[in-house]
Structures are given as structure tokens and as C-alpha cells.
Chains A and B, each alone.
Chain A
Amino acid sequence: MKTKMNTLLKNKNARTNALTYLVVIAAFLVTQYLYSADALSSSVKGYLIPICVYISLAVSLNLLVGICGELSLGHAGFMGIGAFSGIVIAALLKDTIPNDALRLLCAMFGGGILAGAVGFVIGVPVLRLRGDYLAIVTLAFGEILKNIIGNTYAGIDESGFHMAISTTKMPLETGGKYIINGPLGATGIQKIATFPMGFVLVLFTLFVVLNLINSKEGRAIKAVRDNRIAAESVGINVTAFRMKAFVVSAFLAGMAGALFGLNYSSVTASKFNFNTSINILVFVVLGGMGNILGSVISATLLYVLPEALRSLQDYRMILYAIVLIVVMLCTWSPKVKEYLSVIGDKLGGLRKKKEVGSHE
């Protein structure tokens, strides 16, 4: 009996995970079919890769905010590191690896590893702080990273690869080509990002995050969030776990960033600012904290919403803001919820009355 219940519960967990994968795979297949049938407008096609990128970002941030309970406001910084290192790696490997997909994969992993490493370096001092203080420091680091990337120069010339973080442009030999050009950002990027690779990225992100949640590390992370002191008392090294989650999250954001960067012909550092971090956080909160499928869905919908409202021109962002506030009030406010349920009951009552009426 006991074991039966046990397996049942396990199944429920596994079912949620399976559902998440299923939804993503089904969505991909449908989109891919429409794509090949040429049923998608060019603007919709343009959204596909960013949507994948933002899904990955939201899921990886959910690991930090929803699962660990650590508010981070600097996720875009890791995305930016991934983007620019990915762009550089792709440019450097241009001749070594002629296959676009393989080169893209290398760039993504390279971007992820670099972002993860930066996450580790930042995490050492930062993770001593908690709550709102952690939030403000991650915000600060996000801005610092953006600032540094905006003053980075990288280029290739005959004597090889050069890189400098400086306020003045680093000289290259004649015939040299800049990959990253300081405040002007990366230009002349070869757009090798593809939608199937975006799908692979989303799957990989889901795989890592869901596995992590359902392992002893995931339990420890949840325990730390629930009750830090109790978690410490049973021998869990709280700092180490916050660090692991932070680095994994940064790694995944870096990969997503690399894909993002390689989807445009030019990218500037200002793209990876505080507002982008906040947007990702909005995806996470609206999708439900700790709810991975929720992050996937809300990232998709909220990315599409402003684009879909484009016809309203000037009014679209204000509408987006109103939708955001209303959704927050409807999902969180106890009073509004109560009110909604009263309305729901009334509607239900009306329907019942109608049914009764029709029977008579």
C-alpha cells in the first residue's frame, strides 16, 4: 500500500515533467510543419528564435527565483556574456568548423561556460547576501557586465586574435576585422542561429533544470528555500547550493545569449540591460514561481503579445503594462480573487438556471 502510494506520487511528478516535454515538442512540430508549409509570415518566423531564447532564459531564471527563492535582477548580464563570447567564438571558428550547426553548438557551449564561470566569480562575494540585498547586487553586477561589454574590443588580423577592455579603440593591422567594436557592439555577425537549434536549447534547458529539481540537489535547494536554518542543521552547505544553482542558471543564460547574438547581424551591449533582466523576471513570475511549464508558456505569450499589439502602435506598450498589472492583481490579490470567484459563481448560477429553464 505504502509503496503503491509512493509510486503514484512519483508518477505525478514524472507526469508533470512529461507534460512539459510533450507540450514543447508538440509546439515545435506544429511550428516546424507550418514553417515548411510556408504558412508563417516572415514576421512570425522572426519571432521563433527569440521565443526559444526567452523560454530558456525564463526557465533558467525560474531555477534561481522560483526554486531557490533568490531574486536575481541581473540575468541579462549573463545573457550578454554568452551572446558576445558566442559571437567571438563563432567568428574564430569560421574556418576551422565550416558546418554552421556544429559551429553554433560550439559557440553556445562556449558562451555558456564563460557565463557560468563569470557567474561563479560573481557568486563568491554576492551569495553571502540575501533577499533584497542580493537583488540589488545582482542588478549592480548586471549593469557592470553591460558596461564592461560595451567597452570591449575584439578583432582578428594577420597576427591573430586581439581583445581589449578599454575606452579607446584597440588598433588592428591593416586588413584586420573587428568582431566587437566597443559601444557600437558586435557587427557583421554571420547569422547562423536556427529555429531547430533553438528547440534543442529549450529541450536541453528543460532537461537540466527538471533533472536538477528532481535530484538530491533539488531537494536540498528547496529545503534551503523553505527553512535555511533547518537545512543547515541537517548538514546542507547552503552557500554551496546557492552557488550551484547560480552557476547552472548563468550557464544556461549564456547558452541562450549565444543563440540570441548569432540571430542578428549586429548586437549592442545595451540590449542586455536592466529592462531585459526585468522582462525575464516578469515571464517567471507570471508563469508561476517554480512552475517550469508556466515559464515556457508565459515567455512565449508575453513575447508575442507586444508584437501582436504592434498594429496598435503607440498604445501597445501601455496596453502591455495594463495587462501586466491586471494579471498580477487577478492572480495574487485575495480581494480580486474573491470578487472573481463570486462573479464565477453567479455566472455558473445563471447557466444552471438556464439549464433548469430549458428543462421545464
Chain B
Amino acid sequence: MNEYSRKMLKVPTYNLLREQDKDKLPVLDVRNLGIDFGGLTAVDSFNITIGPTEISGLIGPNGAGKTTIFNLLTSVYQPTRGSILINGIDTKGMTTHKVNKLGIARTFQNIRLFSDMTALDNVKVGMHNQIKCSFLSSLLHLPGYYKAEKKANEKAMELLDFMGLGDVANQKAGSLPYGVQRRLEIVRALATNPSIILLDEPAAGMNPSETTELMHQIRRIRDTFHIAIFLIEHDMNLVMNVCEAIAVVNYGRIIAKGTPEEIRQNPAVIEAYLGREESNA
């Protein structure tokens, strides 16, 4: 698995992919990824290939290294081993903002909104690299500035409406209810025009009806923007329902990969979650 070559960039057919993603360049291709913190190996031999319009899930017990994997994918940490390719480009040595420009956006487990800014401004910050307006023209408020701002406003409102957040556009992000904040984070990530978005526990703290709503929205995001979604979630109902492929990690390593049905029946997964079964005497 180490001898990785560009020729293998096509999505391998053994992967559990949607029909339309086959023979296409994967949006995310991770090979043999690993990171050590001091002497501790947090993630090791992590491999995953995600097709351009795939919804996939990453599950595992607490402390298995799921968020660390997200941090590696977004260059918050630099990996000790292995490589990450986003749309075929190696992200080695890149900073977080650079890999975002390559097409990867994310949300955070502990919500990281710009809480003093309005929901609309949060989205507009997400659109930062889409707004075409020179530094001088924003410094002196030349006509180009007003044009760019108007366009940004419209686009941001559109995105907010898409997630059903149009009504809270002018409220401070920090004052919004928890579930709304989570959705706002997704909108902000979408605003960066990504080709894959990573959702870190999007349903945490949501009530069942909000979670159901979220499931529809996740599918709708994929179907509307034609992007891939990679999510970490503890809510098995959500994972099993929306994900087309699931990877299970424990102690920083993948212990199983497959369709929701396969994962449900995998003995290694059951063991990781429930502990080793004592002899049924």
C-alpha cells in the first residue's frame, strides 16, 4: 500500500462507491496517513478514498482519533507519515487556509463560529476568497467594493436560505440556539465553495426532529452542490441512514470499512463499541 503512484488516482472499483463516482478522480485520497504526538501514535496507516459525490462516515469510540484525522486532512496538524491528496494535489506542508482553497472545508466538534458577528457576516467571511475586490478598493471604498459587497450579500443570503437560516441572518452567531449554530457552521463551510466538506459531529446536541431535518439537509447539500461529504457522528441512526460508506476507527487505525449494512454486522466493530463479549455461559 505504500508504493503509491499517480496512476492509481482513479477510484478503485473495490470501493463502495456510487455508480456515478466510478472511474472519476477521487476528491480525497489518503494513503497510509499517520501522526505521532511525542511517543504516542494517535493515527496510523489510515487509508481512505472518497468519490466526488459520496457521503461517507467516520465512526469509532471516543478518543479513537477521528477528530485528529480531520485535523490532519485540513492541515491543522502536519502528518508524520503518509500523504493526503485533495483533487489530486498533495497537501504536504500546506497551511490550513491553502488546503481550504484546494477545496476542503470543515465544521468543528466544539462549534467555532465568529460569535460576535452576525450569521450573515459569518457566511461572508466564508466567502472571503470568492469576493473579488482589491485591497485598495476596499481601503478607499471604490465602486468595485460596493459591487462585490452586493453580490456577496445576495450569495450569502441564498446559502442561508438554503439551510433554512434566512430568518436569523442578522442575529449574532453567538446568540443562536445550538442546533442553528451547527447548521450555520455548515453554511459557512459551504460558502468557501468546497469540493468536499468535513462535518465533525453535526448532530451533537440536536433533538431527534432536528437530526432528521439535518439528514435531509445533508443529502440535499450533496445533490445540489454535487460535493462529497465526510462526517464524524455518534448518532448511529444518522450515520446508517445517510452514509453510503463507513469507515470505523479504533486506537487510530481503521478496523472496518463497508456499507452501513456490512458495518452493522461486523464483529470487530461490535467489539470496539461494546467490548469483548464474555463467554456466554
Contacts and interface: CB of A to CB of B under 8 A. Distances in A.
Q: Do A and B touch, yes or no (CB under 8 Å, in the complex)?
A: yes
Interface in B100-126: 100-101, 105-106, 108, 112-118, 120-121, 124-126
A234 B108 contact: no
Interface stretch (B44-52, B188-196, B205-213, B258-266): B188-196
Contacts of B117: 219, 222-223, 226
Interface string B132-168: 0101001111000100110011000100000000110
Interface string A198-218: 000000000110011001111
Contacts of A218: 138
Contacts of B141: 211, 215
B96 A216 contact: no
A248 B139 CA distance: 10
Contacts of B83: none
B53 interface: no
A232 B116 contact: no
B62 interface: no
B76 interface: yes
A244 B100 contact: no
Nearest to A238: B97
A217 B113 contact: no
Nearest to A290: B116
Nearest to B157: A2
Given A2-B157, A212-B138, A9 B97 contact: no
A216 B133 contact: yes
A2 B166 contact: yes
A353 B52 CA distance: 73
A49 interface: no
Nearest to A215: B138
Nearest to B74: A233
Contact of A220 (B112, B125, B157): B125
A125 interface: no
A235 B112 contact: no
A321 B200 CA distance: 50
B138 A211 contact: yes
Contacts of B95: 232, 237
Nearest to B188: A234
A206 to B, nearest CB: 12
B170 interface: yes
Contact of B125 (A208, A211, A219): A219
A236 B138 contact: no
B53 to A, nearest CB: 22
- Tell me which of B116, B124, B139, B192 has the highest count of chain A C-beta atoms within 10 A of its own C-beta: B139
- Tell me which of A220, A226, A238, A244 has the highest count of chain B C-beta atoms within 10 A of its own C-beta: A226
Contacts of A229: 76, 96, 108, 112
- Tell me which of A9, A217, A235 has the highest count of chain B C-beta atoms within 10 A of its own C-beta: A235
Contacts of B166: 2
B128 interface: yes
A24 interface: no
B105 A6 contact: no
A219 B153 CA distance: 13
B175 interface: no
A6 to B, nearest CB: 6
Given A216-B152, A234-B100, A235-B97, A9 B128 contact: no
- Tell me which of B74, B97, B157, B167 has the highest count of chain A C-beta atoms within 10 A of its own C-beta: B97
Interface in A62-88: none
B242 interface: no
Contacts of A2: 157, 166-167, 169
A218 B125 CA distance: 10
Given A2-B166, A211-B139, A216 B112 contact: no
A30 interface: no
B41 interface: no
A175 B192 CA distance: 65
B145 A235 contact: no
A227 B112 contact: yes
A343 interface: no
B120 A6 contact: yes
A112 to B, nearest CB: 13
Interface in B246-264: none
Contacts of A235: 97, 100-101, 128-129, 192
Contact of A208 (B97, B139, B167, B189): B139
Given A232-B97, A233-B105, A233-B106, A219 B113 contact: no
- Tell me which of B135, B152, B167 has the highest count of chain A C-beta atoms within 10 A of its own C-beta: B135
A9 B115 CA distance: 17
A322 interface: no
Given A217-B138, A233-B100, 19 more contacts: A2-B166, A211-B139, A211-B141, A212-B139, A219-B124, A226-B115, A227-B113, A229-B96, A230-B108, A230-B113, A230-B114, A232-B95, A234-B100, A234-B188, A234-B191, A236-B97, A237-B97, A244-B135, A248-B139
Interface of A: 2, 5-6, 9, 207-208, 211-212, 215-220, 222-223, 226-227, 229-238, 244, 248
27 contacts: A5-B169, A6-B120, A6-B157, A9-B170, A211-B141, A215-B133, A215-B145, A216-B152, A217-B135, A222-B116, A227-B113, A227-B115, A229-B96, A229-B108, A229-B112, A230-B112, A230-B114, A231-B114, A232-B95, A233-B96, A234-B126, A234-B188, A234-B192, A235-B101, A235-B129, A236-B128, A244-B135
The 8 closest A-B pairs by CB, nearest first: A215-B138, A235-B100, A230-B112, A232-B96, A226-B114, A223-B125, A234-B126, A235-B129
